[in-house]
Amino acid sequence: MLWQREGVLVQDSARSAPAQHWRSTLVAVCIAQATAIIGFDFTLPFIPLYLQHDLGVHGVGQTALWAGLISFGPAIPATIFGPLWGRLADRVGYRVMLLRAIICAAIMLACMGLVPSAGVLLALRMIQGALTGTVYSAQALVAASVPERETGRSMGLLQMSVYIGATFGPIAGGVVAEFFGYRAAFAGAGLLLASAAVVVYFFVHEPARKSVKVAEEPSRPSFMSVLLLPSFAAALVLTIVVQLSNTALLPIVPLFVQDLLRSGRGAAGATGWVMAFSGVTAAAGSYLAGRLQRYVGLKPLIISALIASVLLLIPQAFAGSYISFLLLRGAAAFAFGALFGLVGVWAAISSPKDAKGTAFGLLGAASSLGFGVGPLAGGALTAFVGIRPLFIISAASLALLPTVLFGSAAVFSVMRRSLVARGLRSVAEGE
């Protein structure tokens, strides 16, 4: 943020060293993020039931169609607006943008409990996608607040808080909906987000900003300059492919559990246990990877997590019992959790110090794109090839990822050198 004070321009691109209270800020951000994710996931298990019971949607086909649209709805607005909010965060501050995202989410979720129709619910979901994005706002804040040597551990803790929220959110929301109704669950979700905003407002502090003279104000990295950083570009590609591979399986897990149990009875509860166990192991994986990053190194850990994810996806296609699938799914979630946590560290390390908001806004857009397209692609592929082959397809897409990363890094390096050469040529011609 820019403002004048005694002839000096205070601006955000020149930050002082992280303050001593970074640990308390990290803890507060993690608590707020876990609470926010519980709120976001509070209503996920019963969206189809809410459509049928309160919003007048009838028939399995219509319900499935509206549920798919409502799930996909936030993805496109989030992909478009995420980088813009990130860019603004670099100017006005990361804490302010995190507060904005949480407060907007609280309002939107509370309003969703008051909607009269499925169309209004879809519209609010799309507005939510445009205005929120708490995870990547929190990552930008943490990346700018903690000392560089603590980046791995801090990002691991933050990712762990996300998985913890995702584990307990559906369980708690289902209980509230069962006893108080679906609309009450949306109100509860809004209250949870509001409490997360209170935590951020009172307990999260952003590093102090240095004062620099107007004449010394540095230029701010552009979207393109951040995108053309080879390491950061590779992190973006990694995010999209991993998110696609992971979320493509989400629509088929309940169906696969039902098939393994050879009965529809108890399938919902059994699926809930798969999701809960996967959330716990993913949280453990992200935390452990963040701790190891300081001692092992980032690239070896990413490669190891990538290989483990591939190897643990394949046997799921051949699972013969519910217990074996539960254990394999949990093990794969451990690897995926580590991988997602390490991607956050990679993005934090490879992005410019004064463009963390821009970088994580772009990362959020990539994740939203993968999260939106993945379930749609998984559902479409399942219709053609069946359930079990989809695990192999997801594993194959991850196995091809190193080739994609090396290729994209080479392309971005060539583009960057071309732009630099063109800029130098323009300067020479101007002289």
Q: How much is the average pLDDT of 408-428?
A: 59
pLDDT at residue 328 is higher than 70: yes
Q: Residue 51: helix, strand or coil by DSSP? A: helix
Tell me the pLDDT band of 318, cut-offs 50, 70 and 90.
very high
What's residue 264's pLDDT? 60
Buried b / exposed e across 129-167, counting CB within 10 Å, b at 16+?
Answer: bbbbbbbbbbbbbbbbbbeeebbbbbbbbbbbbbbbbbb
Edge to edge, what strands does the sheet with 209-212 contain? 3-5, 8-15, 209-212
pLDDT tens for residues 43-57?
Answer: 876 787 788 888 988
Please list, in sequence order, all residues whose beta carbon lies within 8 angstroms of the beta carbon of residue 321, skipping any fewer than 6 positions away.
260
Q: Tell me, what's the pLDDT at 220?
A: 66
User: Greater confidence, 258 or 212?
Assistant: 258
Confidence at residue 10, expressed as pLDDT on a 0 to 100 scale: 40
- Lowest mean per-residue pLDDT among 104-113, 170-179, 417-426: 417-426
402: confidence class by pLDDT, cuts 50, 70, 90? low
Q: Which residue has the higher pLDDT, 94 or 16?
A: 94
What pLDDT is recorded for position 315? 94
Q: How far is CA 129 from CA 40, 71, 85, 104, 109, in A?
A: 12, 11, 12, 10, 11
Model pLDDT, residue 422: 62
Question: Which pLDDT score, from 0 to 100, does residue 74 have?
Answer: 87
Q: How many CB atoms lie within 10 A of CB 424?
A: 10
Quick check: 122 pLDDT over 80? yes
Query: Does pTM surpass 0.95?
Result: no
CA distances 156 to 19, 168, 196, 365, 394, Å, are 20, 19, 20, 20, 24
The pLDDT, as a whole number, for residue 227 is 81
148 alpha carbon, distance to own chain's centre = 21
Pairwise pLDDT comparison (18 vs 95), residue with the higher score: 95
Q: What is the pLDDT of residue 271?
A: 78
Q: Which residues contact 428 (CB under 8 A, 6 or more apart)?
A: none
| Higher pLDDT, residue 17 or 79 | 79
Confidence of residue 123 (pLDDT cuts 50, 70, 90): very high
Whether 427 shows a pLDDT value over 70: the answer reads no
DSSP string, 359-371: HHHHHHHHHHHHH
Q: Residue 160 corresponds to which tokens in the numbers above?
A: 């762990």
User: Looking only at Cα atoms, what is the longest distance across the chain?
Assistant: 78
Q: Which residue in 302, 45, 18 sits closest to 145, CA to CA?
A: 18
Amino acid 387 reads I
* Distance of alpha carbon 345 from alpha carbon 229, whole angstroms: 15
pLDDT at 117 > cutoff 60: yes
- Cα 430 from Cα 425, distance rounded (Å): 9
pLDDT of residue 176: 86
Distance in angstroms (rounded) separating the CA atoms of residues 345 and 343: 5
Q: Is 319 helix (H, G, I), strand (E, B) or coil?
A: coil
Contact at 8 Å (CB) between 255 and 387? Answer: yes
Q: What average pLDDT does the structure give for the chain? A: 82
- Give the residue-averaged pLDDT of 324-339: 94
Model confidence over 2-42: pLDDT tens digits? 333 333 334 444 344 444 578 899 999 999 999 999 999 88
pLDDT digits (tens, 9 = 90+) for 209-225: 554 444 444 566 777 87
Buried b (16+ CB within 10 A) or exposed e, 208-246: eeeeeeeeeeeebbebeebbbbbebbbbbbbbbbbbbbb
Q: Of 193, 211, 239, whose CA–CA distance to 8 is shortest?
A: 211
Q: What is the CA radius of gyration of the chain?
A: 22
Residues 352-386: tens digit of each pLDDT? 887 888 888 888 888 888 888 887 788 778 878 88
**Residue 402 CA: distances (Å) to CA of 234, 299, 327:** 10, 12, 27
Alpha-carbon span 236 to 274, nearest angstrom: 28
Instruction: Give me the domains of the chain, ranges plus CATH numbers.
Output: 21-207 (1.20.1250.20), 223-426 (1.20.1250.20)
- Give the span between the Cα atoms of 241 and 413, in whole angstroms: 20
Q: Computed from CA positions of residues 378, 384, 387, 391, in that sequence, does the dihedral angle turn out positive or negative?
A: negative
326, pLDDT greater than 70: yes
